[in-house]
């Protein structure tokens, strides 16, 4: 069975063709920021991205009508279970209207549907970032009106956890593992026998600081910034989610450039990067407590894991909890293809999206 896989990111659209579990070809389409800035919303980028995807299919002599299914990374939807979901009108409506938030991943189901529907083939998404398996106790905060949310890098976290479980001769549902996905956003999840029972909200400022997000902040100090007139509420929200972290301290989100600055002796850059690593280790330690110290593995993954010195800093802190695995290549594309194949061959049941309210 031929399965076409899509993975839209903030400035790129990844696509790949699989025959069963075998990769036939893949491409990483880079979009110019100047082109994307022409659009007021992410959804308005749809036709631009679709055009580049169809051009890539043509380049690789792949006819859409020869495909058996299209599957994409999921977007910001109502909280749901882990699994493969059929793209339907309820899902498309929520994504097109950014009902639960705006993110590049919202384009995934929409693009998959536009490619698949004319040929009468199914379009799927798998493990959207709003998968919620958290224990109820983990959602409680000190303010009844505010609950912790499950928004994280579900797709890659579960993919690498399954891979490590397999290398240990076990099933994902048999292990306890802590996964730290470290990229533009950072999420640290406690995986307990196949469920992510606790994880930071990687989108809205919960957890460690990241290349572009502030992470944890003392609430009273944040409120004072508004009271003192240093930020409007809108400006502060943008800073917390898009202009915080490494960008706020060093003026860039390009971590490769930051590491070059460190190599050249930039002490401030070194301190800020060390602080981000320190915050990640504290979050891993918190998840170790959630799992009561019963940990089969700790996994460091995502773009930041590619820097050996950065990963080593974290490993030095957390290695006593258990064996540390560094998986610096994302498994999302092959994981999506495998998910679609399991549904197409009847090994797993296809799920239906249910909007909230």
Q: What is the pLDDT of residues 41-60, one digit of tens each?
A: 999 999 999 999 999 999 99
Question: What is the CATH superfamily name and number for domain 136-322?
Answer: ATPase, nucleotide binding domain (3.30.420.40)
Task: Give the right CATH number for 2-131+332-344 from 3.30.420.40, 3.40.1390.10, 3.40.718.10, 3.90.470.20.
Answer: 3.30.420.40
pLDDT for the residue numbered 356 = 67
Among 31-40, 106-115, 288-297, 300-309, the minimum mean pLDDT is found in: 31-40
Q: Which residue has the tokens 């450039």?
A: 257
Helix/strand/coil for 32:
coil
Query: In whole angstroms, what separates CA 131 from the centre of its chain?
Result: 11
pLDDT over threshold 80, residue 190: yes
pLDDT of residue 330: 66
Q: What CA–CA distance (Å, rounded) separates 27 from 15?
A: 5
The percent of residues in the chain predicted with pLDDT above 90, rounded, is 89
Q: What is the per-residue pLDDT for 88?
A: 96
Going 254 to 232 to 275 to 195, the CA torsion angle's sign is negative
Q: What's the length of the chain?
A: 357
Distance CA 200, CA 187 (A): 6
Cα gap 216→243, rounded to integer Å: 14
The least confident of 244-248, 331-335, 345-349 is 331-335
* Residue 205, pLDDT score: 82
Instruction: Name the pTM for this structure.
Output: 0.90
- For 281, the 3-state DSSP assignment is helix
pLDDT band per the 50, 70, 90 thresholds, residue 242: confident
Residue 286 has pLDDT above 80, yes or no: yes
Rounded-to-integer distance, Cα 142 and Cα 290, Å = 18
Whole-angstrom distance, CA of residue 36 vs CA of residue 40? 9
pLDDT tens by residue, 115-146: 999 999 999 999 999 999 999 999 999 999 99
Question: Domain coordinates of the chain in residue numbers?
Answer: 2-131+332-344, 136-322
- Beta bridge partners of residue 336, listed in sequence order: none
Alpha carbon separation from 32 to 45, 49, 256 (Å, rounded): 12, 11, 19
CB 235 within 8 A of CB 299: no
Mean pLDDT of the chain: 94
């Amino acid at each position: 069975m031929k399965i076409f896989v899509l993975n839209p990111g903030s400035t790129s659209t990844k696509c790949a063709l699989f025959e069963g579990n075998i990769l036939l070809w893949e491409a990483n389409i880079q979009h110019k920021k100047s082109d994307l800035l022409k659009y007021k919303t992410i959804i308005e980028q749809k036709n631009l991205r679709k055009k580049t995807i169809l051009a890539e299919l043509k380049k690789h002599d792949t006819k859409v009508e020869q495909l058996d299914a299209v599957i994409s990374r999921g977007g910001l939807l109502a909280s749901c279970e882990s699994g493969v979901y059929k793209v339907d009108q309820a899902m498309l409506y929520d994504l097109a209207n950014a009902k639960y938030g705006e993110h590049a991943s919202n384009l995934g189901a929409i693009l998959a549907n536009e490619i698949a529907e004319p040929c009468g083939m199914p379009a799927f998404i798998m493990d959207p970032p709003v998968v919620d398996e958290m224990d109820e106790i983990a959602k409680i905060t000190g303010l009844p009106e505010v609950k912790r949310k499950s928004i994280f890098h579900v797709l890659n976290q579960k993919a690498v956890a399954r891979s490590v479980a397999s290398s240990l001769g076990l099933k994902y549902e048999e292990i306890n593992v802590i996964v730290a996905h470290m990229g533009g956003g950072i999420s640290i999840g406690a995986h307990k026998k196949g469920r992510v029972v606790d994880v930071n909200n990687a989108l809205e400022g919960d957890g460690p600081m990241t290349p572009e997000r502030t992470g944890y902040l003392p609430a009273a100090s944040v409120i004072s910034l508004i009271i003192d007139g240093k930020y409007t509420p809108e400006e502060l929200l943008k800073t917390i989610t898009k202009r915080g972290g490494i960008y706020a301290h060093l003026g860039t989100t390009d971590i490769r450039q930051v590491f070059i600055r460190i190599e050249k002796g930039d002490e401030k850059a070194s301190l800020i990067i060390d602080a981000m690593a320190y915050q990640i280790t504290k979050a891993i330690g918190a998840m170790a407590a959630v799992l009561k110290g019963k940990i089969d593995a700790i996994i460091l993954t995502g773009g930041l894991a590619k820097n050996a010195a950065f990963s080593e800093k974290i490993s030095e802190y957390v290695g006593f909890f258990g064996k540390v695995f560094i998986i610096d290549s994302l498994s999302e594309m092959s994981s999506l293809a495998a998910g679609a194949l399991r549904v197409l061959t009847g090994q797993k049941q296809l799920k239906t999206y249910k909007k909230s309210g």
